[in-house]
Amino acid sequence: MCDTMVALGLATRNGEVLFAKNSDRQPNEPHIMVRIPRKKHPAGEKVQCTYIEVEQSEITYEVFLLKPSWIWGCEMGSNEYGLNIGNEAVFTLEKYAKTGLTGMDMIRLALERCKNSLEALNFIVSLLEQYGQGGNCGYEKKFYYHNSFLIADLESAWVLETAGEYWAAERVKDVRSISNSLSIGNSFEKAHPRLVQHAIERKWCKSEHDFNFAQCYSDSLFTHFSGAKSRHTYSQSALEKNRGQIDINFMKSILRSHHPSLEGKQFRRSSLKSICMHAGGIIGDHTTGSYIASLSKEQCTYWLTGSSTPCISIFKPLWLVDYNKIPFKEEEFEKALAFWKRREQVFRMILRHQVPELPAYLEERDQLEEEWMQMAQAMEKGNHNEMIRIMENAWSQEEELVSRMLAENQFNTRRLKGSPLFRSYWRKR
């Protein structure tokens, strides 16, 4: 489960495009940060994706990926042109293929080969046609689904939603969010040539006049139990109500939000209705990584946690300049893994109620984030030396806070709270 959102320049406080996503996966599934440089490839080369090989491109662009550790592709990411893409699991009436490209593979391939949102949209559609989508995307247990995508560049954005080989695409006007449900109805700019006719043949609608993509193609049962309606309604409504005032802090607040029934209880209860998703009991999905991109022609700035559970995690600034410490190179897999796992220890401590001074920790976190935000805003755009200085300061301060949290609380009494089912779930993990 996931939630992805975008606000174009006319809807934001400073005129930049803001793109944000929470990646919800199995809680023990590491979500790592990887940066891969621009590369040239020999003619005829193939690239091994998660399950299948595809033709390699002559040139692949520099990319920054936030990805499940075991999957070739990524849940969200950016490239050297400021193109950003995130995907969602969606549940449809079309069959799920046992192999093919995962939605995450398609994101990485598009980021490596495309410069803008429309080019990426058309490219992902071509991948669907040539290779198809499919393959198990579950970590602890098998999980098959189709994909929707939110694709944004410095000026524009598109939503692409799929059901097997069928698809529809909608241009974003100002603000848009997607979740684990088809959301495009009967208004779209592009679509599979047989999208409507196929639905008529399957008797999902009677004619073109009563065709609605989401209503016709959705698996209503799985979609309902995904909690997508609650999350999508909240995020879309929040974006619409705050048009013209949306900024980084507002995007953070959405990514950190909980359903009203969970607020204050998130470390002893679970809910699929929260954008900051907490696992437990029969609910197996948890937010394992969070990301916000601020995109403009002058400068692209990224804010990321590199860790799970955004309600307690720390968003750090990142610029894709000549700096080799953060994020990690593809060959530095063990370092990337260790970074996520170390911060996961903080969450598990909080979950076990080992941190009596949690409000003080959160206050210090908020102060650090505000300091870094002010530094980033005051910085002369394009000043690479200043970018590196701010990053080194922010990421070292975050490491210091994480280390202090682990050291000060490691011997405190551990006590999981919540229902027996909730406690049993987390003991097993």
Q: Tens digit of pLDDT for each residue in 108-135?
A: 999 999 999 999 999 999 999 999 999 9
Does pLDDT of 323 surpass 90? no
- The tokens 């995020």 sit on which residue? 235
How big is the chain, counted in residues? 429
Non-local (6+) Cβ contacts of 65 within 8 A are: 33, 34, 35, 36, 73, 74, 77, 108, 111
Tell me which residue of 136, 192, 140, 137 sits closest to 161, measured CA to CA.
192
Please give the pLDDT value at position 326. 82
Q: Are 124 and 169 in contact (CB under 8 A)?
A: no
Please give the pLDDT value at position 265. 94
Q: Give me the mean pLDDT over the 268-296 stretch.
A: 95
Does pLDDT of 382 surpass 80? yes
Selected from 3.40.50.300, 3.20.20.70, 3.30.1130.10, 3.60.60.10, the CATH number assigned to the domain covering 2-331 reads: 3.60.60.10
Q: Tens digit of pLDDT for each residue in 199-223?
A: 999 999 999 999 999 999 999 999 9
Q: Are 92 and 146 in contact (CB under 8 A)?
A: yes
Does pLDDT of 324 surpass 90? no
Q: Give me the mean pLDDT over the 399-426 stretch.
A: 96
Does pLDDT of 104 surpass 90? yes
Please give the pLDDT value at position 282. 85
Does pLDDT of 386 surpass 80? yes
Q: Give me the mean pLDDT over the 332-352 stretch.
A: 97
Q: Tens digit of pLDDT for each residue in 154-180?
A: 999 999 999 999 999 999 999 999 999
Please give the pLDDT value at position 71. 97
Please give the pLDDT value at position 1. 86
Does pLDDT of 67 surpass 90? yes
Q: Compute the mean pLDDT over every residue in the chain, rounded to the nearest whole number.
A: 96
Residue type at position 50? T
> 325 falls in which pLDDT band (50, 70, 90)?
confident
Q: Are 290 and 29 in contact (CB under 8 A)?
A: no
Please give the pLDDT value at position 306. 97
Report which of residues 326 and 394 the model is more confident about.
394
- Concerning whether 2 is annotated as a catalytic residue, the answer is yes
CA distance 282 to 131: 34
Please give the pLDDT value at position 79. 98
CA distance 310 to 290: 7
Please give the pLDDT value at position 244. 97
Please give the pLDDT value at position 96. 97
Tell me which residue of 109, 137, 126 sits closest to 53, measured CA to CA.
109
CA distance 364 to 2: 28
Please give the pLDDT value at position 281. 86
Q: Give me the mean pLDDT over the 225-243 stretch.
A: 97
CA distance 353 to 223: 33
Q: Which of 2, 74, 137, 216 is catalytic?
A: 2
Whether the model clears a pTM of 0.95, i.e. scores above it, the answer is: yes
